[in-house]
């Protein structure tokens, strides 16, 4: 029996749209100004799959979820065994009415406790997932802002399968650069953390 549903998959809602300068009366300017726009895009699916920090966090959360599911399943199996034992005793008539009532009350409270623990664990998973998402979004946004400033982009769009951008020219794709800088940042940060512990 599974206590967690698939809704707890670790999904990072990346915000890959960054607006640039305040164009003021942009809507009233001539169409000739649109040719001066500098636009790039990032493949959101590729970032999710190849961003090392995201994958590491995702795998850790999935492992934690599996561990919590196993723990709950173990408790559920133990409770089912107790219920079967009680039912067998009740059928043999070796228990008094008071004993049966007390046992049923105990088993019911155990079941409620397991359900409450399941709900608590689900909230814990969602809270941790939300915190990780916010942190990774912040890292990504900072990286995109820097690239935007360095290259003078007006917009950096997100391109994902089934998204609003149906097709894009590959020459405007900066996914590899974004991933390279994200993953390089992680690899340079790791040694610093290790030395700090020494």
pLDDT digits (tens, 9 = 90+) for 25-71: 333 333 445 568 899 999 988 988 899 999 999 999 999 999 999 99
Instruction: Give me the pLDDT at residue 193, please.
Output: 46
Q: How many domains does the chain have?
A: 1
Decide if 10 is inside a domain. Answer: no
Query: For the chain, which ranges sit under pLDDT 70?
Result: 1-35, 186-198
- Residue 71 in any domain: the answer is yes
Query: How far apart are alpha carbons 48 and 92 in whole angstroms?
Result: 59
Tokens of 186: 């992680």
Q: Which two tokens stand for residue 131?
A: 């915190």
- Residue 158 resides in a domain: yes
181/158 Cα distance (integer angstroms): 17
Residue 112 domain-assigned (yes or no): yes
Q: Is residue 67 part of a domain?
A: yes
Report the chain's mean pLDDT, rounded to a whole number: 80
In angstroms, the CA 79 to CA 86 distance is: 11
In a domain, 32, yes or no: no
């Amino acid at each position: 029996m599974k206590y967690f549903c698939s809704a707890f998959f670790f999904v990072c809602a990346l915000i890959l749209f960054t607006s640039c300068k305040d164009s003021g009366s942009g809507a009233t300017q001539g169409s000739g100004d649109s040719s001066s726009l500098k636009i790039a895009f990032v493949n959101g699916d590729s970032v999710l799959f190849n961003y090392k920090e995201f994958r590491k966090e995702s795998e850790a959360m999935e492992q934690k979820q599996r561990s919590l599911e196993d723990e709950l399943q173990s408790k559920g199996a133990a409770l089912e065994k107790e219920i079967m034992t009680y039912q067998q005793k009740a059928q043999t008539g070796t228990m008094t009415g008071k004993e049966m009532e007390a046992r049923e009350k105990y088993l019911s409270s155990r079941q409620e406790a397991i359900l409450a623990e399941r709900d608590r664990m689900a909230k814990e998973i969602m809270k941790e997932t939300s915190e990780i998402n916010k942190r990774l979004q912040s890292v990504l946004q900072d990286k995109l802002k820097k690239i935007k400033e360095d290259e003078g982009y007006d917009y950096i769009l997100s391109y994902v399968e089934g998204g609003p951008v149906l097709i894009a020219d590959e020459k405007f794709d900066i996914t590899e650069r974004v991933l390279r800088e994200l993953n390089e940042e992680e690899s340079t940060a790791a040694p610093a953390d290790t030395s700090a512990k020494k």
